Homo-oligomer: A and B are copies of this chain.
Amino acid sequence: MGRPKDDARRHELLTACVRYAQERGLFGLTLRPLADEIGTSTRNLLHHFESREHLISEIVDEVLADQLETSRALLSRIQRQKTAATAPPRNVVADVIADGLELSWAHTTTPQGRIQMAMFFEIYAAAMRDNDLRKRFVDPVITEWVTPMAQALEQASVVNALSLAHRVLAVHRGLLLQATATGATPEIAAAHKDAIHCIRNEICTA
């Protein structure tokens, strides 16, 4: 029997590993330089996380949890609309979606958000060659946004609700892809503002 694992210490180590992977990349991670950098030993990392592969998997789960937390604000407001007695007016649905996109943009274009997004896109790209990772990571980060948006749009009788929900997520992620690589330049920030404006128009007139 090994020594009992200290949950608080484990969580602290995992947080340091996530931060390290955000700075240096996740899939190229090796234990020795990681351990040196965060002031522990490979032996201790293996004690807490079993293997490099298992540690990477836990880091993916942390990134996923963080992503889903961001979309939850949007989700909960849309759920509240759905429990209202009457169908929500389109402009209310448009406001909720616009606020969600603005919140996500503000959160992901800070310096800290940018390094989080770099790892988000690193995992997303890796999942293109890994079915398990796709099911575990890509599917939820798509459906968590698309499903509630599509439902709310449909309830407000917007035509092509599912297609619109996919396009909303696509333009948002496409601009984030660029903002993460090149920085959220005024040009890209303006394009995101205009995208929200167009989405609002399409919801209110479709």
Interfacial residues, chain A to chain B (CB-CB below 8 A): 23-25, 27-28, 117-118, 121-122, 124-129, 134, 138-139, 142, 160, 162-164, 166-167, 169-175, 177-178, 180-182, 187-188, 190-191, 194-195, 198, 202
Contact = CB atoms under 8 A, between A and B. Distances in A.
B121 A182 contact: no
Question: Which of A122, A142, A180, A188 is packed against the most chain B CB atoms within 10 Å?
Answer: A122
Contacts of A171: 167, 170-171, 174
Overall SS of chain A's interface: helix
Given A121-B121, A122-B126, A162 B187 contact: yes
B142 A178 contact: yes
A126 B25 contact: yes
A77 to B, nearest CB: 23
A1 B187 CA distance: 52
A122 B177 CA distance: 12
Contacts of A118: 125, 128-129
